Chains A and B, each alone.
Chain A
């Protein structure tokens, strides 16, 4: 409860904030001879506006406490009656104004704090098309989306999660396009969240994931507002989180990781070609090393004779069995990747140089690994970079396939592939089958699967994901 005495409120707040040094109390006598107290957290507010629009009117004009709301030049001002609310407003960066003799306080929204400016996306680069990316500030991110979709049906719903951090989380969808069942399911899952702290949107992702034990992500994340807008226009729901430059969208199907926003900014035929390339690269990156090892260990008769002779020549003098050789190469490749990633940028480049020289050339010349294995592993590695969003899945599955191929030959590879496919088919993301256009086959969905359909012909939104009634256009 807010007391009628300013001093009491001050002492209470001081206690509640444990004397924190950035909590600022400013007491003043207004022109109406009223004792007032302005409380805010230093660094979260716009001090110039506070001086100009709050303190100056209070000192220069005869304003009784009850009239404050109508005489202060601020768009956002409201009354609150509980001390608990005072605390939450303060930590959210608002100014609270107490007055003697009234048992409520005014909240003045004067947020202004340091944040990164909107700049180019670093992880999802496009040659053509919008380049701006989300920043860590939720409010800015919302405006970025609102600027793309200027429509009264665009809805933001705010939640607060995290006992300690009180992080603001916002879900965004377009009313009329969104599938209400999925929305209800998402809200149900959000209400189950019971977490101490949220530092990034991926904390929420773990709670929304359908298959937490699987390697496959059932939510999509992006850092570009145009991608998010495209997704919610297809009926998906976006989840934004304060302090995270990433947004997640759901439900996710397999092909979304193969697609890039740029497909839709290029000519349809070229976009299709690139998509097919990425699709092939996905399988190459997973299977190539395993298939090679199984071929040279178990199925030499399947290798064309000239190639076999050249392979045999290269393996001459290599001390390790090819299974071990493959494992070692992949292992060092992963280490190099991680090293290049973790180090500061200027040193990161030298890592690749040294790694390339040492592992690539010197190892072959020293006769530790065969040249063909280096080629195979690097081909697999390069193909991995084509689909960065599949990274976790590719790395793990590639390892599994190497072991299967080394132990059981092509038979093991085939078994592993069947299990992998079963797994993919069995997955669901918010009730939507993961291999959607293929596994429950849908002719309309296949239009924009590997083919990048011209926009003229995209009349339907994806089945299961968007609302049944919604069309992109009425023919």
Chain B
């Protein structure tokens, strides 16, 4: 009895030795934990820049400056894998890729095409596929690294948080490695996030370093980088990205800032939406439905957007309590969303000449037979399709007040 049990246990242990995928135990202090990676192409070789976390022996002492908590390694190789391995020639710990949350491509590298190199991140078991992909706009990847103007304890984390903040603005794209792979195979046109350095005024001059007395550099992730297959073909601006996110139904939040045009409710009362006076709607919920119609060889793309939001600010006092006014605001907001969407579509059709919205997938689903005959010419067909945008805005509530404070009491003209 006990012999049977013992042999069973020993068998299980031996089997566990065979089946374990862990190559062996590695202590934490044998690892170089990478927080972010920059990839460039220099002189026919891949140049990989890594940000490695320096484990501070006393986590309680937070007096060290934030940039001192990481070190940067640069190494070259014919491929990314070789470059990373070459790092061990000059660095005393094996790089640990699992916690790498941000991959930055230099612009030059992105234009050359990233797909052949990025394979490594799918092959290897260590890297996470949930790493964000970013393109350094107009710069080398290592030029945007090493900037930490936030409160995070590492530049990589700072950058990661910036990307994750996209839900508050919808002005950027937060694409991860496996999403990129999906878009790459499905639609041939992924849109990656963008990161660039911009200068900001220094407010607290006493605390700034000598080098940063006049201006300081911060990172900005506004916009998107449009790819064809695996190479960069152009950039979307931040506002175009709002339209883009509306089209691909990736809106998680953000604001729509719009002007309400003048309108008479009755001959003696009108509400005025003067130029330069804005109303702000915070998006709470959005649903975009797309479908394709074909009438005698003419392809029309219908985009139906349903926005639900909250009025958050009005620089021109409008009485939201009046139904007419509310409807006018909703209409104006819908017009603004339409404007965003059309702007983005126009850019994709005229400038980039690339379907970055997965419309080909939609086409394939709806007209599979037709798709087979036109799939090879889709890029040229896409540039000429008509778009029909319908937006429906719904103000589900206002903020804490419903009559703005900048309306004077008894002011009949203000509606």
User: Which chain A residue has the least Cβ–Cβ distance from B2?
Assistant: A213
Q: Is the CB of A412 within 8 A of B98?
A: no
Residues of B contacting A315 with CB < 8 Å?
Answer: 27-29, 55
Report if B371 contacts A (CB, 8 A): no
Cβ < 8 Å to B, chain A residues 277-293: none
Q: Is the CB of B25 within 8 A of A297?
A: yes
Question: How many angstroms between the C-alpha atoms of A312 and B16 in the bound complex?
Answer: 27
Cβ < 8 Å to A, chain B residues 1-47: 2, 8-9, 12-13, 16-17, 19-20, 22, 25-29, 31, 33, 35
Question: How many angstroms between the C-alpha atoms of A322 and B101 in the bound complex?
Answer: 26
Whole-angstrom distance between the Cβ of A188 and the nearest chain B Cβ:
21
Q: Is the CB of A415 within 8 A of B96?
A: no
Report if A308 contacts B (CB, 8 A): yes
Q: Is the CB of A309 within 8 A of B27?
A: no
Whole-angstrom distance between the Cβ of A214 and the nearest chain B Cβ:
10
Q: Is the CB of A411 within 8 A of B20?
A: yes
User: Which chain B residue has the least Cβ–Cβ distance from A311?
Assistant: B28
**Chain B: number of interface residues, binned into ranges:** 20 to 34
**Residue interface mask A304-320, B partner, CB < 8 A = 1:** 01001111111111100
Whole-angstrom distance between the Cβ of A256 and the nearest chain B Cβ:
25
Report if B58 contacts A (CB, 8 A): yes
Whole-angstrom distance between the Cβ of A313 and the nearest chain B Cβ:
4
Q: Is the CB of A300 within 8 A of B17?
A: no
Q: Is the CB of B13 within 8 A of A309?
A: no
Residues of A contacting B56 with CB < 8 Å?
Answer: 313, 316
Residues of A contacting B376 with CB < 8 Å?
Answer: none
Cβ < 8 Å to B, chain A residues 311-346: 311-318, 321-323
Residues of B contacting A47 with CB < 8 Å?
Answer: none
- Are A313 and B55 also in contact (CB < 8 A) when A213-B2, A408-B17, A411-B20 are? yes
User: Which chain B residue has the least Cβ–Cβ distance from A298?
Assistant: B22
Q: Is the CB of A408 within 8 A of B128?
A: no
**Among the listed B9, B20, B53, B157, which residue makes an inter-chain contact with A409, where contact means beta carbons less than 8 Å apart?**
B20
Report if A55 contacts B (CB, 8 A): no
Report if B57 contacts A (CB, 8 A): yes
- Are A308 and B22 also in contact (CB < 8 A) when A300-B28, A300-B98, A408-B16 are? no
Whole-angstrom distance between the Cβ of A350 and the nearest chain B Cβ:
30
Q: Is the CB of A296 within 8 A of B27?
A: yes
How many A residues touch B, CB cutoff 8 Å? 29
- Are A312 and B28 also in contact (CB < 8 A) when A411-B20, A412-B16 are? yes
Report if B289 contacts A (CB, 8 A): no
Q: Is the CB of B31 within 8 A of A300?
A: yes
Residues of A contacting B157 with CB < 8 Å?
Answer: 305
Question: How many angstroms between the C-alpha atoms of A315 and B29 in the bound complex?
Answer: 6
Q: Is the CB of A412 within 8 A of B13?
A: yes
Q: Is the CB of B13 within 8 A of A415?
A: yes
Question: How many angstroms between the C-alpha atoms of A308 and B97 in the bound complex?
Answer: 13
Q: Is the CB of A301 within 8 A of B22?
A: no
Question: How many angstroms between the C-alpha atoms of A308 and B55 in the bound complex?
Answer: 9
Q: Is the CB of A299 within 8 A of B22?
A: yes
Report if A406 contacts B (CB, 8 A): yes
Residues of A contacting B29 with CB < 8 Å?
Answer: 312, 315-318
Q: Is the CB of B20 within 8 A of A312?
A: no
**Residue interface mask A139-183, B partner, CB < 8 A = 1:** 000000000000000000000000000000000000000000000
Report if A419 contacts B (CB, 8 A): yes
Which residues of A are in contact with B by a Cβ distance under 8 Å? 213, 296-301, 305, 308-318, 321-323, 406, 408-409, 411-412, 415, 419
- Can you list 13 contacts pairing A with B, beta carbon distance less than 8 Å? A297-B26, A301-B98, A305-B101, A312-B28, A313-B55, A313-B56, A316-B29, A316-B56, A409-B25, A411-B22, A412-B13, A415-B12, A415-B16
> What are the nearest 6 A-B pairs in CB distance?
A301-B98, A297-B25, A312-B55, A313-B55, A298-B22, A316-B57
